[in-house]
Each structure stands twice: as structure tokens, then as C-alpha cells.
Amino acid sequence: SQQGEEDPQALSIQEGENATMNCSYKTSINNLQWYRQNSGRGLVHLILIRSNEREKHSGRLRVTLDTSKKSSSLLITASRAADTASYFCATDKGTGYSTLTFGKGTMLLVSP
Amino acid sequence: DTAVSQTPKYLVTQMGNDKSIKCEQNLGHDTMYWYKQDSKKFLKIMFSYNNKELIINETVPNRFSPKSPDKAHLNLHINSLELGDSAVYFCASTYGGDSPLHFGNGTRLTVT
């Protein structure tokens, strides 16, 4: 069954602006991961946050996790046209072998 | 030097035919997956193999049969193709645990 739900479904911003995407999930997790998918390509891992972490940074990316609300957010600061892609959150229940459940994604368009 | 490679990239075929998609990874990962991405970009796990052994088999029709000749390869054979099988199929691999998934660039299957 689907676990993550991203919000919004689509986001259009100008270069230099920040982009925030949200993800909600339903059951307990071991970790939550964010992936990017450029058009016609496979998904690329961006960042992982564990259930005992609240915030994580990687370059221009900032991820937060609120396990009490079962939600996460991905913030991309100072966006660039090259950030145009679909962004997916994926949850891992930690039940043994890594089994990620993906949301439907947020399509981000960054205009020059 | 592609880490996870799938062939073919595009596959157009008629209903009722049988087709195969091949996947190879040169990352030394033990676990490989097949995911299906539908037209709405929803990504759903189909199968997972760990060191040539099937560990995850989601509710996928029997017409789909994965085969892993060694831990670097995971192929997907589909019998009696149906219109609803049209999708993009992604192969992925990982070391397992909290390690991220590495995806191939997908095989776009169109059944006419």
C-alpha cells in the first residue's frame, strides 16, 4: 500500500527562490529518504533521515522529520533551473531487507 | 561506467507477446529490485532479490517472472502482455540496510 504522500503535486518557482515540498506517511518508519527524478531518467538518492533525527542538511537541501505528525519536508534553497525535476519521498519500515515505499512525487519547475 | 544499466530503454510490443527486460549492476550490491512506475508517476515495488534469492514478491500477476542468474543481474520476463502492463519499469540495487537505492534509467514498455 502507498505510504508517502507528497504535497504539493506541482510547484513552479523562479530561480533563486526556495522550494518546499512536504511528505506525509501512515505507519512507523525506520528512515525516510528523498529522491529526485529528472525527466526520462531513474531516481537519484538525495538524502536520508533516520527516525531519531529531526533535521538534516546536505548542501542546499534541508530535510526535517516530525515522527509525531508522520511528516517530512524537503527544502531546496536558492533554487536553480537544473533543480527542475520530480521529487519523491520514500519510507523504510526497517522490517529487514530495505523495502522503500514511494509517494507520488512533487513536480518542481524552476524557471530562469 | 553506468552503475545500474537496463536494456532495452524502449520496448513497444503487441498484446499477447512475451518480452524480457535485463538489468545489470556493477556496484557490488547484494540486493536488487524491480519497480513499476505508472503514468501518474506512482512507483511500486514488484520484486526484490538478495544474492540471487527472491525475498519480496508483491502482488504481481504470475505473468511476471523475475530471474537472477547471479547477484549482479536481475531480469524480468513478462508473458502474455496486456495493455495495463504499459509503464516504465525500473531496476534498482542497494547494499541493504540504510544504504540508498541506485536506479537504472528505466525501460518504457508500451503495449498496443
C-alpha to C-alpha distance for A71 and A65, rounded to whole angstroms: 6
Could you say which of A41, A42, A99 has the minimum Cβ distance to residue B48? A99
**Do A16 and A112 form a contact (C-beta atoms < 8 A)?**
no
- Would the pLDDT of A94 be above 60? yes
Sign of the C-alpha dihedral computed for residues B86, B88, B93 and B94 taken in this order: negative
Does B3 contact chain A (CB < 8 Å)? no
Does A97 contact chain B (CB < 8 Å)? yes
pLDDT per residue over A24-77, tens digit each?
Answer: 999 899 999 999 999 999 999 999 999 999 999 999 999 999 999 999 999 999
Q: Is the peptide bond before B66 cis (omega within 30 degrees of 0)?
A: no
Q: Cα angle at B51 between B47 and B55, to 5 degrees?
A: 35
What separation in angstroms does the CA of B106 have from each of A62, B17, B30?
A: 28, 20, 20
Query: Rounded to the nearest 5°, which phi and psi values hold at A18?
Result: -95, 150
Per-residue confidence band for A3, with pLDDT thresholds at 50, 70 and 90: low
A98/B97 Cβ within 8 A:
yes
Along the 112 residues of chain B, how does pLDDT read in single tens digits? Answer: 669 999 999 999 999 999 999 999 999 999 999 999 999 999 999 999 988 888 888 888 999 999 999 999 999 999 999 999 999 999 999 998 888 999 999 999 999 9
Q: What is the pLDDT of residue A1?
A: 42
Give me the torsion for CA of B75, B35, B40, A72, rounded to 10°.
Answer: -160
pLDDT per residue over A4-22, tens digit each?
Answer: 678 899 999 999 999 999 9
B47: which chain A residues are within 8 Å (Cβ-Cβ)?
A: none
The CA radius of gyration of chain B, in Å to the nearest whole number, is 13
**Do A100 and A14 form a contact (C-beta atoms < 8 A)?**
no
Q: What is the pLDDT of residue B46?
A: 94
What separation in angstroms does the CA of B43 have from each of B34, B82, B91?
A: 10, 19, 12
Cell of A48: 536520508
**Do B105 and B84 form a contact (C-beta atoms < 8 A)?**
no
B92/A42 Cβ within 8 A:
yes
A40/B105 Cβ within 8 A:
yes
pLDDT per residue over A57-72, tens digit each?
Answer: 999 999 999 999 999 9
Task: Determine which of B43, B51, B93 to mutate to test the interface with A (most A C-beta atoms within 10 Å).
Answer: B43
A101/B97 Cβ within 8 A:
no
**Do A108 and A17 form a contact (C-beta atoms < 8 A)?**
no
Using the 8-state DSSP alphabet, how is residue A112 labeled? -
Sign of the C-alpha dihedral computed for residues B107, A91, B102 and B96 taken in this order: negative
| Percent of chain A scoring above 90 in pLDDT | 81
Residue with cell 556496484: B27
A45: which chain B residues are within 8 Å (Cβ-Cβ)?
A: 100-102
Cell of B19: 518480452
Q: What is the pLDDT of residue A39?
A: 94
Q: What is the pLDDT of residue B2?
A: 63
